[in-house]
Structure 1
Amino acid sequence: MNPTPSVPTIAPRPTFGDFFQGLALLGRAFGLIFRSRRLFLLSTLCAIVTLVSLVALAVLLWRYTPGLVSHFFARPDSVYLQPLWYLVLVLTFVVLLVVGANAVPPLLLAPLQDPISEATEELCGGSSSPPFSLGAFFRGLVTGITHTLARLFFLVLGLGVLAPLNLIPGMGSILWTALGSLWSMMWMAGEHLAAPMTRHLYPFSEVRRMLRERRALCLGLGAGVYLLLWVPVLNTLFLPVAIIAGTLLYRGLLEAGQLPPPPAARGAVK
């Protein structure tokens, strides 16, 4: 099967360049936004909502993170130890902002995630989305919010498992931040790969299998989304870009034979 020009060509087995190919999916996603009027309009709406929510989130975290850090690691009186405390403060702020950015905007924009993914698949040669209906809209809204909350549970669970590291004075908080960032990157890849796969009725076990078998490829995507959050202006587009990139990854894995045909399509054939 020859992939359409929009579908990335992914090797059927892991390669040395998988991480960078996953990272490059974000560039492809930006390109598709400016090739499709529908994607551009949806992404613009997402950017406006994301900007407002990220600014509000950053203000709240900047106010309350010092108290949270002091609860685990009291601000030292020593001039020599204070830089370490501020380092822990900044790193904790970064992780919490990433977690919040992957919780608040997706919940607010849940109704738009499937339309963005569907429009991406149309550019990849997929079938057109069905006509709008109020019933389908509300079903999509409920399903999107439910699945987002479920995936957020796993994000918080992973960070919670690492939380006891904070009990190690100083270095424990730094270690928690570093490992928490890596967990967040992998989770971001799973979050945005799961979105189109859920829409096509794949079980979550298939998502886990892809995260395990194509770890470097998924980590590249997650790292790109993570870094995008820290680029001013562009970070307002992180959600639509991540959704598009995750859909491109799904289509690439499907074309490479890494995934079986969608269960929804198999059911329709039956």
Structure 2
Amino acid sequence: MTLVKGFGYLLQGARLLSHPGLRLFVLLPLLVNIIMFGVGLLVLISFVGGWMGDIVAWLPEWMGGITSFLWFLLVILFGMAVFFSFNLLANFIAAPLNGLLAEKVQLHLTGKELGITNLGSILASIPRSIGREISKLTYYLPRILILLILTLIPGINVITPWLWVLLTAWMMVIQYVDYPMDNNGISFRKMKRSLSQQRLLHLGFGGGVSLLLMLPVVNFFAMPIAVAGATALYVNEHEPLNIVD
């Protein structure tokens, strides 16, 4: 199945990280991810109790019997929001490092040297990397806003949880496949067009990344695994197509 094939690239990414030649390039983005998720966890612990208490106190008495369920549901939803938000922030900060990791994974898989290993090239790539991250945010935010509005509309909001799942998976595809695409000089517009031609394959990959982000401890390693997996996906599914602008 195409979805399973997409998920398989995430597993391949996890295996790639154990290669001795890649470990050094995994450590820095991994450190950024651990720090950001640690901050996110502190935010969750510091504020969730007070906020959840205020929300539950605001509920009418007849809903008192489901207070425990509401606590569980709100903690899960708030936790997902915090961790996905801090994941996006971590990717923004670690973008040049993720680009370097993607370059090294591609070199390992294909022998193709992209020439961004030296310090000067890495520093020179920072403005471009930040620009690509901003392009991603401008792509994400309108869609998130539209879905938030739909969530408030009775009737339609019955299907919005599934739409959130699809949107989150697609955002993860955009986030991580962009690194090898950018390394190979493919514009953000061209990348989106290429991804849309194999939606199920990419949703399988993005869904797997979303799942990793929700697993405690495992989510610390989600970023480098996703970068490596996305690079393998690019090499096998996109590079042979010789994408050009």
Alpha-carbon distance in structure 1 between the residues aligned to 2:25 and 2:171: 24
- Mind listing any 5+ residue stretches in structure 1 that lack a counterpart? 1-16, 264-270
1:87/1:156 Cα in 2 relative to 1: closer, same or farther (>3 Å)?
farther
1:208/1:250 Cα in 2 relative to 1: closer, same or farther (>3 Å)?
same
TM-superposition CA deviations, 1:64-116 (whole Å, max 9, x none): 46749978xx5343224535643551343144134313312112212211110
1:252/1:164 Cα in 2 relative to 1: closer, same or farther (>3 Å)?
same
- Mind listing any 5+ residue stretches in structure 2 that lack a counterpart? none
Larger helix share, 1 or 2: 2
Equivalent pairs, count: 241
TM-superposition CA deviations, 1:187-234 (whole Å, max 9, x none): 101221122112222233332223322111001110111111133332
TM-score when normalising by structure 2: 0.84
Partner of 1:30: 14
Partner of 1:118: 103
1:186/1:100 Cα in 2 relative to 1: closer, same or farther (>3 Å)?
same
TM-superposition CA deviations, 1:115-137 (whole Å, max 9, x none): 10111111121422427555422
Partner of 1:248: 232
Which deviates more, 206-215 or 27-36?
206-215
Residue 187 of structure 2 is aligned to residue 203 of structure 1 = yes
How far residue 45 of structure 1 moved from its aligned partner, in angstroms, is: 2.6
Aligned counterpart for 1:49 among listed residues 32, 35, 45: 32
Aligned counterpart for 1:232 among listed residues 201, 205, 216: 216
Aligned counterpart for 1:214 among listed residues 195, 198, 208: 198
Displaced runs of 4 or more, over 6 A? 68-71
Q: How many percent of aligned residue pairs carry the same amino acid?
A: 23
Partner of 1:58: 41
Q: Write out aligned runs for 1:70-219 (5 A).
A: 75-77=59-61, 78-82=63-67, 85-86=70-71, 88-130=73-115, 132-168=117-153, 172=157, 176-219=160-203
1:64/1:20 Cα in 2 relative to 1: closer, same or farther (>3 Å)?
same
1:171/1:161 Cα in 2 relative to 1: closer, same or farther (>3 Å)?
closer
Alpha-carbon distance in structure 1 between the residues aligned to 2:164 and 2:9: 23
TM-score when normalising by structure 1: 0.77
Alpha-carbon distance in structure 2 between the residues aligned to 1:109 and 1:193: 15
Look up the SS of the partner of 2:127 in the other structure. Answer: helix
